[in-house]
């Protein structure tokens, strides 16, 4: 979940999530569904690192071809991951 006050939390690090548009049948990278899928990946990766909170995800659209991930376009979201300080 997101937290408005991170002062009492321990920062774990940055986590990324990506939505990869591989073909015309997939949702456009500007679509809300693309953002939901990218943010879900952020949450999953944060949880895998032991995080209990993430900062508000910042998302960037790239319409250039990403050959390393075989994507026609990508939406990448990044957050800071935090855990309880205790």
Look over the chain and give the mean of its residue pLDDT values, rounded to a whole number.
88
34-75: pLDDT as tens digits: 999 999 999 999 999 999 999 999 999 988 888 887 888 999
SS3 call for 73: strand
Answer whether 0.95 is exceeded by the pTM: no
For residue 80, pLDDT over 50 is answered with yes
Task: Note the pLDDT of residue 46.
Answer: 97
17-29: pLDDT as tens digits: 999 998 888 888 8
- Closest listed residue to residue 42, CA positions, set 84, 85, 80: 80
Q: Token pair 């071809």 is at which residue?
A: 65
Dihedral sign of CA atoms 5, 7, 10, 13 in order: positive
């Amino acid at each position: 979940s997101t937290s408005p006050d991170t002062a009492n939390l321990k920062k774990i690090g940055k986590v990324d999530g990506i939505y990869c548009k591989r073909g015309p049948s997939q949702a456009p990278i500007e679509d809300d569904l693309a953002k939901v899928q990218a943010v879900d990946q952020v949450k999953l990766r944060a949880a895998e690192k032991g995080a209990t909170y993430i900062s508000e995800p910042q998302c960037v659209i790239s319409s250039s071809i990403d050959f390393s991930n075989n994507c026609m376009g990508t939406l990448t979201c990044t957050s800071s991951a935090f855990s309880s300080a205790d």
